Amino acid sequence: MKSKRSALLLSFFTPLIIVTGYFIYRHFAPFGNSSVMTVDMGQQYIDFFTYFRTTLLHNPSGIFYSFNKALGGDMLGTWSYYLMSPLNLLILLFPLSKLPAVVGVITILKYALSGLTFGYLLTKLHQTNGWLIGALSTTYALMGWMVANQLNTLWVDGVILLPLIYLGLITLLKGGSSKLYIISLAAILMINYYIGWMIAIFVSAYAIIFTLCKAYQTTSSYIKVLLKWLGASLISGALSAWILIPTFYALLKSKSDFSQSPFFFELEYNPFRMIAKFVNGGFDFTQLPKGTPNIFIGSLALMMCLYYFFAPTIKRRLKVANGLMLAFLILSMCFEPLDVLWHGLALPVWYPYRFSFVFSFLMILIAFSTLQEILAHGLSRLAFGISTGIIVLGFTYILIAIKKFEFLTIGKLITAIIFLLLSALLLFFWRRSAHKALFPILLFLVVGAEMATNLSVSLATLTYLDAANYTEFSTLMRAASAKTKKLDPNFYRTAATFSRTRNDAMTGNFYGGSVFSSTLETATTRFYNNIGNPSGTYYAVYSNGTMFTDSLLSMKYYFTPRHVKNKAESRRSLNYLTPLTSRPDLADYTKKTHTDLINVYQNPYALPLGFLSRRQFMFPINDMDETAAYQNQIASQLDPKVGNLFSTVRPTKVTYDNAYPAADFSNSQIRKKDKTEPAGLTLTVPIKKHTSYYMSLGPRMAQDTLSYLVDNKPLQQYRTSAKETLLNFTTGTNRNRTVHLQILANVNHAPMENVYLYALDNNKVKQLTNDLKKNPYKVTKFNNRTITGTITSPSDDRTMTTTIPYSKGWSATVDGKRVTPKRWANMFMYITVNKGKHTVKFTYTPVGFNYGLTLSLVTLIGSLGFLGYKHYRRRRVTGINQSTTK
């Protein structure tokens, strides 16, 4: 097979058929009831894809900003990391009920397109047998990195574009046009800046090393070649500046604050451990949170890559250049400072060595170059023997140390050896057979079988969610959200006592209080920690609100599971409305409406988005260890006369059951006497009427170590947090009473940390909110990016306080005149207003967007103008030459 078109078809359809066959076997949607949703795909990405569809079809303002992101946050940085893949446009063509199926199709297409672009690269680099192009394109499309990161579909566009970027780079380094390099590099920088950063490091190292090694012949000096490459790279960056610059500013407010953790100038592990990843099926779930690089490339590519460095016909300078590149990449995959550099100066959380796809890419390219040499000059027995011997040594090492590799089994090792022997025998006898045309076909079949086996064995270790896990929940949440919006079309936030993921607001299409995103602002996580809600580097969960924070943050509605008697509906509720955290104090709220499975409660004390506070000067509020004390600070700032909302409560009695007593239960351990029996302690707590009660829980009190009951009724508690949280364990009715709060140990030694009881005076909350609502900000028009409303101030220099998270991207006008928003509580915006009625408008534009857009447009216009001028000069010179000839 010599036709380029046939080779490209083979490169595209072989991985497509293999992956589709596997998807059918696993019943992944659209071929069954299962799905590709696992780990982050099921817990994060699928919700962002829902948001993508909702935003583009119904609310484009959500591209810049969203109140679905916790209490509100920048979204352009989120788009540039999660949602810019062109293939995501397929999501717009189908209803949300088909989203798991569409994501499955997109995943298959990304495998196929990776094979296609790599096949295109090979057809441009070499004129060779199409079966070999198909074999190595399939190797690239189904390499270990792709299989391990199938769920991280947002990164795969980099694998698709890398062959085009490399082809453009090679063309440039050889003195040719830089157009392909500029366009393809700009494309990945716009689609996913994170993977674009890694590719930029790769091409930079490649350009410098190969130029210094004089690996490519060119008529220009090597300095000119490097300057040309640098200029082309800067143009790519400038073309993508419209999204890169605002993303950079967004990162300054998010994960960059957490990237200052120290790293060490040391090897992260023994580099020889990487060898095990060349074994078929050398991957399982344990490798996702912390493992070695995923670099499986199959037997043929591995043998040919090693053979390359011993082949007598290959130029030494090429061997040196490729050897230096591989050495740099190997060192990067085990030396911590380089590892940190590749990951954007922050060690990754889960999915280690995310850049290892460039290492596999280079190895497969080298392998293809080797095959060209073998076709042209025959097989060198010495080089073949040495490369085979190195592999035998590697497998011997693996066999000796196999117990250290939990992801390997003897069966996987035998499978790898079988494919290695088949590939070696085919290579050895190819040049000696009279039927030479048959061997490329056989190699193609062996490679396809080997890569398919690795796909199947590797993914067999992962568990996947049924498609209904998303589709049913999405249907239930959107029905409740739509009914609430019909009931109340104004601006407010909504919380729930159940959850599927921390991005439910994006799936349910409502303004919520939770999010899980790599671009989450650190101000939000700190505020959540301070008010006693679970929060970490990349997530914030509004699961532990109090009556005060509900009111302050405009949590006007609450979704709770509805008690149903029908068995089928009850089972549906249990399956899809997973309890999050108990909120007994919702008894003080009013049930307004319901859907089949969800009740909608209204918080009558919820404040509007903005209101006049009683102080003209907003003093700083410092971070505090005690979350109740922090809430008292906020209340005092809004109204100094309110006093403390929370007060400390001591239990009247503490009893231990099958546990050793402690002098102070608040910071101690529940240690079982009889380890075979249940154990715990019981706190007897007097409950006053019209009062809500909360218990603080330190971060060491993990979800699986302790359980909580009130009068023998279990309390649900979400327990993943960096600091203490507040758990609402009961609320006062119209009479005083006593409750028994039980803390049960699920392990032999259960830690108790910062366990304190607090009482919240509900009447004070009502009084405070009623006073603040006397001068509300009446929102008349709003979307995610723009909010317009009116407010009336009874006197000059009053403070209009909002619960819009502060950002330099927000601008504000009062009666058309621009004012500067300021920050209060290190979290929210406020402005000063004078006496009278005013129209106040807030508008959000990502910081740096206008500068970036200007730079991109100037670069684009300048580049088009330059190309037009070159085309004009070329035609003019051609015309002059033709006239002279005549």
Q: With DSSP H G I counted as helix, E B as strand and the rest as coil, what are the percentages for the chain, rounded to 5?
A: 50, 15, 30
* pLDDT in the model for residue 625: 77
Residues near 368 by Cβ (< 8 Å), separated by ≥ 6?
Answer: 122, 125, 126, 132, 136, 304
Distance CA 133, CA 3 (A): 11
Contact call for residues 833 and 800 (beta carbons, < 8 A): yes
> H or E segment at 600?
strand 598-602
H-only helix segments in 333-380: 336-342, 356-377
Amino acid identity for residue 627 in this structure: T
> H or E segment at 74?
strand 73-74
Q: Residue 289, Cα to own-chain centre: how many angstroms?
A: 14
DSSP state of 843: E
Distance CA 508, CA 757 (A): 34
What are the beta bridge partners of residue 713?
A: 710
Distance CA 761, CA 209 (A): 69
Distance CA 142, CA 297 (A): 8
What are the beta bridge partners of residue 105?
A: none
Q: Where are the beta strands (DSSP E) in 711-847?
A: 713-715, 725-731, 737-745, 749-752, 757-761, 778-782, 786-793, 798-805, 810-814, 817-819, 822-824, 828-833, 836-844
Q: What are phi and psi of 346, to 5 degrees?
A: -145, 125
For 602, the 3-state DSSP assignment is strand
**What DSSP line would sit under 406-425, residue for residue?**
TT--HHHHHHHHHHHHHHHH
Residue burial 847-863, b: 16+ Cβ < 10 Å; e: rest:
bbbeebeebbeebeeeb
Residues near 597 by Cβ (< 8 Å), separated by ≥ 6?
Answer: 476, 561, 562, 564, 569, 572, 573, 577
Ranges under pLDDT 50 in the chain: 258-259
Give me the residue label for tokens 């490459």.
229
Distance CA 730, CA 716 (A): 12
Would strands 725-731 and 691-697 be described as parallel, antiparallel, or unpaired?
A: antiparallel
Burial tier of 712 (Cβ tally within 10 Å: 0-12, 13-18, 19+)? exposed
Longest dimension (CA), the chain: 112
Roughly what angle, to the nearest 10 degrees, separates helices 156-173 and 356-377? 50
- The neighbour count for residue 545, using CB atoms within 10 Å, is 25
Residues 102-130: pLDDT tens digits? 999 999 999 999 999 999 999 999 877 89
* pLDDT in the model for residue 640: 87
Give me the residue label for tokens 């910071």.
667
The token pair at 385 is 């023997």
Residues near 751 by Cβ (< 8 Å), separated by ≥ 6?
Answer: 669, 698, 700, 701, 705
Angle at 526 between CA 524 and CA 532, to 5 degrees: 100
Structural domains in the chain, sorted by start? 4-459 (no CATH), 467-606 (no CATH), 645-767 (2.60.120), 780-844 (no CATH)
For 325, the 3-state DSSP assignment is helix
**What DSSP line would sit under 677-708, residue for residue?**
S-EEEEEEEEE-TTEEEEEEE-TTS-TTTEEE
Distance CA 499, CA 514 (A): 10
* Cis amide bond preceding 30, omega within 30: yes
Residues near 580 by Cβ (< 8 Å), separated by ≥ 6?
Answer: 496, 497, 498, 499, 541, 543, 716, 718
Contact call for residues 655 and 681 (beta carbons, < 8 A): yes
* pLDDT in the model for residue 259: 47
- The neighbour count for residue 211, using CB atoms within 10 Å, is 18
DSSP state of 492: -
Give me the residue label for tokens 């990405």.
45
**What DSSP line would sit under 23-39, residue for residue?**
HHHHTBTTSSSB-S--T
Roughly what angle, to the nearest 10 degrees, separates helices 4-26 and 438-459? 30
Angstrom CA distances, 399 to 129, 276, 390, 417, 422, stand at 36, 10, 14, 11, 20
Q: Where are the beta strands (DSSP E) in 517-575?
A: 539-540, 555-561
Distance CA 419, CA 416 (A): 5
Residues 848-865: pLDDT tens digits? 999 999 999 999 999 999
Residues near 735 by Cβ (< 8 Å), separated by ≥ 6?
Answer: 689
The token pair at 440 is 């490329």
* pLDDT in the model for residue 258: 46
Torsion region of 9: left, alpha or beta (phi above 0 gives left; psi -120 to 50 gives alpha):
alpha
The token pair at 692 is 């809500």
- The neighbour count for residue 791, using CB atoms within 10 Å, is 23
Give me the residue label for tokens 């830089």.
178
